[in-house]
Structure 1
Amino acid sequence: MEFVQNFPFLSIILSLFAGPLCSVLNGKWARRVNTAVISIIGIMSTLVLGNAISAGRPYVYLMGHFPAPWGNEIRVGILEAFMACFFCVIMLLCMLGGIREREAQIEEGKQNLYYVMVNLLLSSLLALIYTNDLFTAYVFVEINTISACGLIMIRQTGRTFEAAARYMIMSLLGSGLLLLGICHLYAVTGHLLMSNIRQQVQLIAATGQYHISLMVALGLMSVGLAIKSALYPFHAWLPDAYGYSTLSSSAILSSLVSKGYIFLLIKIFYRVVGFEVVRESRVVNVLFVFGIAGMIMGSVSAIGEGNLRRMIAYSSVAQIGYIYMGLGLATEAGSIASLYHVLSHGATKSLLFVAAAGLADASGGSDRYGDITGAGFRNRLAGVAFTVGSLSMVGMPVFSGFISKLLFAQAAVGHTHKMLPTVIALAISTVLNAVYFMKTVIRIYTRKPMGLSGMGSGGAETGRVVSLSEQPAKSAALVCFILLNLILGLNSDPIVRLIQSGIEMFE
């Protein structure tokens, strides 16, 4: 085994042990350790990706060198390495863009605890990406839940406590259903390793035994992960969690946490159960219907929102709907479109949250619509960044969102029963996206009347001009997010081929 093939396991362990280390450091040193850990893991993930591409096949890493079915395994292919690399890039930029807000909103003596949660969250996301064991996945799902809850409530306001409580209740419901599904599957197959379960499922599907039990297990796991990733109508916790937590927390939660659960669900579909069995079960039809409902209702809710960050949060409900709609098509093209949208949404939604914080900085700290009027002139980089993110979400060419919608439309073409609903839903959702995003872009580039230019809706002074040099970390993060969005939009072919190769390795 090449030394680089140890990196996935080392990445999980490094981030896992960085959490306790940060608990004994002060806030400044904890931040440095966290930045170093994310950077090192990102470099290791890039090397693993290069190794996977050159090898052209996945490999299995035995933890403790015990073979199946007694040992635990990590399975690494092109898609796993690529997602790990992408997650590290997004998390690093989210942390970079939110430095100022974290220092202002978190008590000085508790800032190191924030980095404990971020390190544990990164460890859990990497484990969900790499693990080949269902129970290990469940353990890290719970670590992910606890870490995300800590990121929400660390700000310690009434709103964040309430949001964290609602998040915990819904997330534990999803975790319980996931665990029931795993236990049910274990009772039927007698295995917890994904590859071993797949072999038994194939035998069960061929003989017709335990068909109902298998479908119950698949349904429980699918619904559990759908709840945890905020698929409509299980999204009630999301607007407050994203809208009132710190900037870095909002960006990480919207871009990465829900995507980790979705990636695990895709692994269950392909590697645990087998996509043919999933297609025959009709579970995908339920996900398709709820995905389309989320696309429409999330956008409708965003249109009526008067707070910028909560509007972006409701937009996430719609974008999660896109992903589940693609999975509901039950084709490889639909899965590729969904995975590409995971990348597009992760890059764009982080951009929007960081840009919204920049617009609020130029508006007396307020992100209400009445106060951000003209903010694009007062913070020019944030205005440009928000415009880029908005155009991407609407689906304008050149940006990543256009490629996502094009892939969804192409995946639906020729589908006997789902082509028309998919195309109609894409059209309606795009129009709704344009309504609330373009409305916001017009507002931030509309100058206030002279008599009102200095006062916000609450009577506070607004209108402060923010220069690039004043917030260098946030400016650097915004520039990198814009470039990432353009890369995804202008160089989609190699990324799509990479995703396709990764899915083929899932089998």
Structure 2
Amino acid sequence: MAFVQNLPFISILLSLFAGPLSSILSGKKAKWVNLAVIGAVGAMSAAVLAFVLSTGEPYVYMMGHFPAPWGNEIRVGVLEASMAVFFCVIMFLCMIGGSRERELEIEESKMNLYYVMVNLLLCSLLALIYTNDLFTAYVFVEINTIAACGLIMIRQNGRTIEAATRYMIMSLLGSGLFLLGLCFLYDLTGHLLMSNIQESVRVLKQTGEYHVPLLVSICLISVGLAIKSALYPFHAWLPDAYGYSTLSSAAILSSLVSKGYVFLLVKIFYRVVGFDVIMDSKVINVLFVFGIIGMIMGSVAAIKENNIRRMIAFSSVAQIGYIYMGLGLGSQIGSIASVYHIVAHAATKSLLFVAASGLTQASGDSTDFFDLTGAGFRNKLAGIAFTVGSLSMVGFPMFSGFTSKLLFAQAGVESGNKMLLTLVALALSTILNAVYFMKTVIRIYTPEKKKVLVQKDFHSVTMADQPAKSAALVCFIVLNLFLGLWSEPMVRLFGDGLAMFA
């Protein structure tokens, strides 16, 4: 076995042990440890991706001296490695972009605890990406939930504590349903290893045995992960969690945490149950319908908001709807579109949160829509970045969101009886996206009267005033353009990864 094949396991262990280490360090030292760990894990994930691309085959890594089912395994393919790379890149930029807000909003004595949670979150996301064992996946789903809850409530004000409580209640409901589904599946198959479960499920399908219990298991798992990823109408926890937590927390939660659960659901559909069984169960039709509803209702709620961060949060409800709609189409191109949108939305939503923070910084730290009048002139880079993110969400050519919507439209055309509803929903959602994002862009580029500027203590913010945030914004813009202009290699990469899944 080549040494590079050990790197996924080393990445999980490194981020896991970085958590306890950060708890005994000062906030400043814990910050540098966290950034170093994210960078190291990203570099190792890139090396693993290069290795898997060179071999053209996935591989299974056995942890310890005992084979499954007594031991544990992780599985590494093109899709897993590429997701690990992208997640590390997004998390690194979110941590850099939100450094000013963390210093202002988190008590110094609790700063190291924040980095404990971030390291545990990174560890759990990597485990969800790589694990080949369903019970291990459940364990890290719970670690992910606890770490995310800590990131929300670390700010310690009334709204964040309320948001964290609501998030915990909804997440525990989702975790409970997910665990019940796993118990049913284990009772039916006698296995927890994904490949072994798939073999047993294939036999059950051929014999026709336990059809109803298998359907119940699939439904429980799907609903549990849908709740945790904020699919409409299970999104009640999301606006406050994203809207009132500190900047880096909001960016990481919106771009990575919910996507980790969606990625796990994709793994279960392809590698545990088998996509042909999922198609026969008709569960994807339910996900398709709720995905369509989420696309529309999330955008309608965003239009009604006058708080820019809550508006961006409600936009995430619509974007999660896109992902589930793609999965619900039940085709290879639909799944590729959903996986691509996981990455495109992660890059764009983080950009929007960081850019919005720059705009509010130039507006007396107010998130009110009307106070942002002229903010694009007071913070030029943040204004440009928010415009780029908005155009991407609307689906403007050159940006990542355009490729996502093009793939969804292509998948819809090939979907037969779902074509009309898919194309109508895409068109309507795009119009609604344009309404709330473009009106915000117009607002930030509407000149404000000088008298109002003095009265409200608004001021200009230059790149020199916010070097870390400026660097993050530039990198996010470049990443968005990369995903939009060089989308064909990425689509091919994700297609090859899904083929390895199957």
SS for the counterpart of 1:73 is strand
**Is the contact made by 2:99 and 2:468 (CA closer than 8 Å) also made in structure 1?**
yes
Give the superposed CA RMSD. Answer: 0.6
**Equivalent position amino acid for 1:377 in 2:** F
Q: Deviation string for 1:427-448 (max 9, x for gaps)? A: 0000000000000000000012
Match of 1:401 in 2: 401
Q: Deviation string for 1:82-135 (max 9, x for gaps)? A: 000000000000000001100110000100000000000000000000000000
Moved more, 364-373 or 114-123: 364-373
Match of 1:458 in 2: none
For normalisation by structure 1, the TM-score amounts to 0.98
Distance 2:74 2:125 in 1: 13
Residues 324-343 of structure 1 mapped to structure 2, 5 A cutoff:
324-343=324-343
Q: Deviation string for 1:277-307 (max 9, x for gaps)? A: 0001000000000000000000000000000
Q: Deviation string for 1:143-170 (max 9, x for gaps)? A: 0000000000000000000000000000
Q: Deviation string for 1:364-423 (max 9, x for gaps)? A: 011111111000000000000000000000000000000000000001113221100000
Match of 1:441 in 2: 441
Distance 1:69 1:152 in 2: 37
Distance 2:436 2:254 in 1: 18
Q: Deviation string for 1:431-485 (max 9, x for gaps)? A: 0000000000000000123432333xxxxx2321001011100000000000000
Distance 1:175 1:426 in 2: 31
Distance 1:65 1:356 in 2: 50
Distance 2:324 2:66 in 1: 36
SS for the counterpart of 2:60 is strand
Q: Deviation string for 1:245-267 (max 9, x for gaps)? A: 00000000000000000000000
Moved more, 444-453 or 396-405: 444-453
Match of 2:56 in 1: 56
Match of 2:128 in 1: 128
Distance 1:67 1:38 in 2: 30
Match of 2:299 in 1: 299
Q: Deviation string for 1:14-52 (max 9, x for gaps)? A: 000000000000000000100000000000000000000
Distance 2:311 2:18 in 1: 34
SS for the counterpart of 2:370 is coil
SS for the counterpart of 1:62 is strand
Q: Deviation string for 1:176-204 (max 9, x for gaps)? A: 00000000000000000000000000000
Distance 1:261 1:176 in 2: 14
**Equivalent position amino acid for 2:430 in 1:** T
Residues 67-106 of structure 1 mapped to structure 2, 5 A cutoff:
67-106=67-106
Match of 1:371 in 2: 371
Runs in 1 of length 4+ with deviation above 4 angstroms? none
**Equivalent position amino acid for 2:486 in 1:** N
Moved more, 213-222 or 60-69: 60-69
**Structure 1 regions of 5+ residues with no counterpart?**
456-460
Distance 2:302 2:190 in 1: 46
Q: Deviation string for 1:34-89 (max 9, x for gaps)? A: 00000000000000000000010000000113222222100000000000000000
Match of 1:497 in 2: 492
**Count of aligned pairs:** 502
Match of 2:479 in 1: 484
Distance 2:24 2:325 in 1: 45
**Is the contact made by 1:201 and 1:273 (CA closer than 8 Å) also made in structure 2?**
yes
**Is the contact made by 1:242 and 1:313 (CA closer than 8 Å) also made in structure 2?**
yes
**Is the contact made by 2:331 and 2:415 (CA closer than 8 Å) also made in structure 1?**
no
**Equivalent position amino acid for 1:92 in 2:** F
SS for the counterpart of 1:418 is helix
**Is the contact made by 2:453 and 2:459 (CA closer than 8 Å) also made in structure 1?**
no
**Equivalent position amino acid for 1:491 in 2:** W
Distance 1:273 1:65 in 2: 28
Distance 1:65 1:135 in 2: 19
**Equivalent position amino acid for 1:298 in 2:** G
Distance 1:371 1:164 in 2: 28
Distance 1:249 1:234 in 2: 20
SS for the counterpart of 1:454 is helix
**Equivalent position amino acid for 2:371 in 1:** D
**Is the contact made by 2:128 and 2:260 (CA closer than 8 Å) also made in structure 1?**
yes
Per-residue deviation at 1:493?
A: 0.4
Distance 2:414 2:72 in 1: 42
**Is the contact made by 1:362 and 1:462 (CA closer than 8 Å) also made in structure 2?**
no
**Is the contact made by 1:324 and 1:338 (CA closer than 8 Å) also made in structure 2?**
yes
Q: Deviation string for 1:321-374 (max 9, x for gaps)? A: 000000000111100000000010000000000000000000001111111100
For normalisation by structure 2, the TM-score amounts to 0.99
Distance 2:27 2:333 in 1: 45
Match of 1:347 in 2: 347
Q: Deviation string for 1:190-238 (max 9, x for gaps)? A: 0000000000000000110011111100000000000000000000000
**Equivalent position amino acid for 2:470 in 1:** S
Residues 49-448 of structure 1 mapped to structure 2, 5 A cutoff:
49-448=49-448
Could you tell me the percent identity over the aligned residues?
73
Distance 2:277 2:457 in 1: 58
**Is the contact made by 1:371 and 1:462 (CA closer than 8 Å) also made in structure 2?**
no
**Is the contact made by 1:151 and 1:249 (CA closer than 8 Å) also made in structure 2?**
yes
Distance 1:415 1:13 in 2: 42
**Equivalent position amino acid for 2:211 in 1:** H
**Is the contact made by 2:291 and 2:324 (CA closer than 8 Å) also made in structure 1?**
yes
* Aligned pair partner of 1:467 in 462, 473, 476: 462
**Is the contact made by 1:189 and 1:200 (CA closer than 8 Å) also made in structure 2?**
yes
Moved more, 61-70 or 243-252: 61-70
SS for the counterpart of 2:166 is helix
Distance 2:145 2:95 in 1: 19
Distance 2:176 2:414 in 1: 38
Distance 1:65 1:407 in 2: 44
Match of 1:12 in 2: 12
Match of 2:21 in 1: 21
